[in-house]
Amino acid sequence: MKQVENIMLTADGYLELEQELNMLKTEKRPEVIKALKDARALGDLSENSDYDAARNEQAQLEARIKELEYKLEHSTIADATKSDSVNVGSVVTITYDDGEVEEYRIVGSLEADPFANKISNESPIGKAIVGHKKNETVEVNSPNGNFTVTITNIA
């Protein structure tokens, strides 16, 4: 029997997936259905590239809808306010062993965006600091080698 994965999301991440799903169902799906009807009206379906393109778009749309429904159904919304330790949803300031200071928001893997300082709880830094408290120094095991970080603030 296949193990059902549990997807960790912040409240914002869950809302974004819900909004995308709603937009696909209420806006995009009717557009694709109309494109299919218009292409069918052109006649011979065996050589109708517009019809083939609309069918492909419909298949991709339905696959994305199914994927979003699965993710929403199997997700847990993290509540970082319940704890004084780092968790999904926490905004954490860390100091690297070389003195560099960074602030990250810990998010589920679906929401990770390193360019926006959103790191996954499954990333090397995320794995290392989740569950730890302010002023703790933690060793991070990364593919580029190990280093230490100190958690200087949790919000």
Residue, of 124 and 39, whose pLDDT is higher: 124
Query: Does pLDDT of 4 surpass 70?
Result: no
Dihedral over Cα of 110, 103, 149, 133: its sign: negative
pLDDT at 20: 96
pLDDT at 39: 82
> Which residues does 66 contact at the CB level (< 8 Å), separation at least 6?
none
- Helices 11-23 and 49-73 pack at an angle, to 10 degrees, of 150
Query: Does pLDDT of 3 surpass 80?
Result: no
pLDDT in tens, 67-119: 999 999 999 888 766 678 999 999 999 999 899 999 999 999 889 999 999 99
pLDDT in tens, 15-55: 999 999 999 999 999 999 998 888 888 776 667 788 888 88
Domains and CATH numbers, the chain: 7-77 (1.10.287.180), 82-154 (3.10.50.30)
Query: Does pLDDT of 121 surpass 80?
Result: yes
pTM, full prediction: 0.74
> pLDDT grade, residue 141 (50/70/90)?
very high
> pLDDT grade, residue 136 (50/70/90)?
very high
